């Protein structure tokens, strides 16, 4: 499964960028200006991939509705970005930490320091998938800027064997369609400013797409009302204040009434809103929210 030297040399992510041939002779201002202009390639690479990103989101939404998980798999920068996106979902959307997870080659130590050789073993990627008990209700998203990372390809092959839906996110265009890829997202950002440094444009484009995958899926399953994160976990003062502001924004209550409503709702913003707008008890509100699969936009009348 490891790519040949000839294959690696031919990858777009390994090509030299003619616009940066003289970057070592540029001034600080010129370097910064060039980096900024190159980042536009990352932004522009996302639009052509929107149909595939949409397909991926639909698989993720279906997984979440079936009590399944989204599992990111990557090495190096790709792995760190997956872990980062997964770690942001619980405080933002109030979901269980198991719902979106990130696997990085080399384990947790690789989050803080580079362990490059960890990506070379497809069987290790497969074992990570086995350890999580991946099944047909799950989605596994492999992230590999180069498209050749053995750890990621091994994980996707194993996930496919276990019946999970699979997404392959890469920044190269010469990607062989394999049975283990249900969706291929290709972000063609072009050669990096510093040859082979995929932490730059590839990393930027990848981060943009991961934001899209989880945020869109969470909106679809009712974690957002209007444009407010009504399922947040108020685990710190900032989020506690945000919960209060959401109630104040959407209702005609004052601060004292808002605090009382949140207390009666056990701190749950969704429950508080349904209690207020539908004049229900906490138990009645939560039963109705469950009946509507968490989508309070299907309960509260829209002005």
Residue 240: both structure tokens together: 């506690």
CA 79 to chain centre: 11
Per DSSP, helices labelled H in the chain are 5-10, 28-46, 50-65, 76-93, 109-112, 122-131, 150-161, 201-220, 237-250, 255-264, 269-278, 282-291
**Identified catalytic residue from 38, 119, 158, 180:** 119
Give residue for tokens 């947040």. Answer: 232
Instruction: Give catalytic status of residue 30 as yes or no.
Output: no
Residue 234 CA to residue 83 CA, distance in Å, equals 22
- Of 135, 138, 145, residue with least CA distance to 15: 145
**Identified catalytic residue from 14, 30, 47, 88:** 88
The sign of the CA dihedral 235, 222, 216, 54 is positive
The gap between the terminal CA atoms of the chain, to the nearest Å, is: 56
Active site residues: 88, 119
């Amino acid at each position: 499964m490891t790519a040949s030297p000839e294959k690696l040399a031919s990858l777009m992510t390994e090509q030299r960028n003619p616009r940066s041939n003289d970057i070592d002779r540029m001034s600080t201002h010129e370097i910064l200006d060039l980096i900024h202009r190159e980042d536009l390639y990352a932004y522009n690479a996302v639009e052509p991939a929107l149909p595939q990103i949409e397909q991926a989101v639909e698989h993720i939404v279906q997984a979440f509705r079936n009590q399944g998980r989204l599992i990111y798999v990557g090495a190096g920068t790709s792995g760190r970005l997956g872990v980062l996106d997964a770690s942001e979902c619980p405080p933002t959307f109030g979901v269980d930490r198991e719902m979106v997870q990130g696997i990085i080659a080399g384990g947790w130590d690789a989050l803080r320091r580079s362990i490059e050789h960890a990506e070379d073993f497809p069987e290790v990627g497969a074992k990570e998938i086995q350890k999580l008990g991946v099944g047909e209700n799950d989605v596994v998203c492999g992230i590999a800027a180069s498209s050749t990372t053995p750890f990621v390809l091994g994980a996707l092959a194993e996930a496919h064997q276990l019946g999970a839906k699979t997404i392959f996110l890469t920044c190269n265009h010469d990607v062989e369609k394999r049975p283990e890829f249900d969706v291929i997202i290709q972000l063609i950002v072009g050669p990096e400013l510093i040859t082979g440094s995929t932490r730059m444009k590839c990393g930027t484009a990848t981060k943009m797409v991961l934001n899209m995958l989880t945020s869109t899926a969470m909106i679809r399953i009712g974690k957002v009302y209007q444009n407010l994160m009504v399922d947040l976990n108020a685990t710190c003062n900032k989020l506690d204040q945000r919960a209060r502001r959401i109630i104040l924004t959407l209702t005609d209550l004052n601060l004292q009434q808002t605090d009382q409503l949140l207390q009666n709702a056990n701190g749950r913003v969704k429950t508080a809103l349904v209690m207020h707008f539908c004049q229900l008890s906490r138990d009645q509100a939560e039963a109705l929210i469950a009946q509507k699969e968490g989508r309070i936009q299907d309960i509260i009348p829209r002005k």
